[in-house]
Amino acid sequence: MDRIVIRGGRPLNGTIPISGAKNAALPLMTAALLSDGPLVLENAPDLADIATMRALLEQHGLSVEHDKATRRLTLSGAATSLEAPYDIVRKMRASVLVMGPLVARFGEARVSLPGGCAIGTRPVDLHIKGLEQMGAVFDLEGGYMHAKAPPGGLRGARIIFPQVSVGATENLLMAATLADGVTELVNAAQEPEIGDLAMCLMRMGARIEGIGTAKLTVEGVKRLGGATHPVIPDRIEAGTFACAAAITGGSVKLEGARLVDLGAVARVLRDAGVDVAERHDGLQVTRLNGLHGTDVMTEPFPGFATDMQAQFMALMCVADGAAMITETIFENRFMHVPELMRMGARIKYHGQSAIVRGVPKLSGAPVMATDLRASVSLILAGLAAQGETIVNRVYHLDRGYEAVERKLAAVGAQIERVGG
């Protein structure tokens, strides 16, 4: 099993290209089920989760070609299977996003329940309730959700989300594009990835208003066509590398990153003593005189992203003073804390809050990744630590970061991947 070996203490300087966003590319890929296509996605990242979604869509009967040299994904064809099996869905929760498109276009879907994951349960009840409001009937048995549309297909409805849900917003947005009548999604998630999905759907012929707001209005159409659409840059990768520049005392240009996509992450970094400057082709991130302990609470966009919590905690481990970090989105998302403490971090946590008291230095140590964002937080800590850090179970990392060790090495990090 591969490991990442880091010898810390080197400031990062240079340019890091930001890849296409994983969390945008996955729902965009499922949108191909709404049309015979072809749907061409440009700037598609090369990640394990992309390969998993490709396997699922090919299992449904689509043709998927990924030209990694040109970063183009081409998806075409109609589904011949309406079942998303457990063996694939269990690997990646985003697999549930095939449900809305399948029910909307083909009138039926049988999708495995995804179950829990390392960072806590993420129920699909809002997906089910929303489709039920559009007329679908569900039968839950044998670990599968079997959904059927009414005669004549799904109907437009006014759906009010009791809490913000990115996945449910994406699933119901796609379903609404082919529903009969008008659908309103109220208290919809506002993440940039949802706006990207909506823009792609409009290129395919959908009629959507309210993009970027908490109320999306969709007028259903009879059919959607093919389109070519560029995947937005990955704001979480950009935020992660911003923390890498800050934790090492360096200055890094994040090529292609967009300030508007960072939301509260940019503000919090600035409060902590990090300059985040917009350039015509990206962001320049520079640590100023020192890092300051800064409190943060995760919230739906434009609040501080839960997917940046672990990385910011690593940064606060070497800041002056103390920081309170509160996780409001997922339970069990502090599993990186014991590993950071192995490296000398001073952290006390209870429930959903953690107090981080900065230390002058961290020490390299063998550590183990527990999930995607936890794994990269340990790499950040290793970049700042004295001595050697070995991060085990890096297969988590490959789900969401493309060639992270090569990108960091190119700006001065002493980092390498070692085979198990």
Catalytically active residues, by annotation:
117
- Residue 320's DSSP bridge partners are 292
Phi, psi of 122 (to 5 degrees): -135, 85
Prior bond of 38 cis (ω within 30°): yes
- Chain centroid, CA 354 distance in Å: 23
> For residues 233-244, b (16+ Cβ closer than 10 Å) or e, as one string?
bbbbbbbbbbbb
- Candidates 311, 289, 301; CA nearest to 356 is 311
Q: What is the C-alpha separation between 24 and 192, in angstroms, rounded?
A: 8
Q: What is the C-alpha separation between 208 and 182, in angstroms, rounded?
A: 10
Q: Are 297 and 304 in contact (CB under 8 A)?
A: yes
DSSP β-ladder status, 158-160 and 144-148? unpaired
Classified as helix, coil or strand, 369 is coil
Q: What is the C-alpha separation between 76 and 391, in angstroms, rounded?
A: 39
Q: What is the C-alpha separation between 32 and 116, in angstroms, rounded?
A: 27
Phi, psi of 18 (to 5 degrees): -95, 130
Phi, psi of 35 (to 5 degrees): -150, 155
Report DSSP state, residue 34. Answer: G
Residue-by-residue DSSP string for 211-261 = TTSSEEEEE--S----EEEEPPB-HHHHHHHHHHHHHHT-EEEEET--HHH
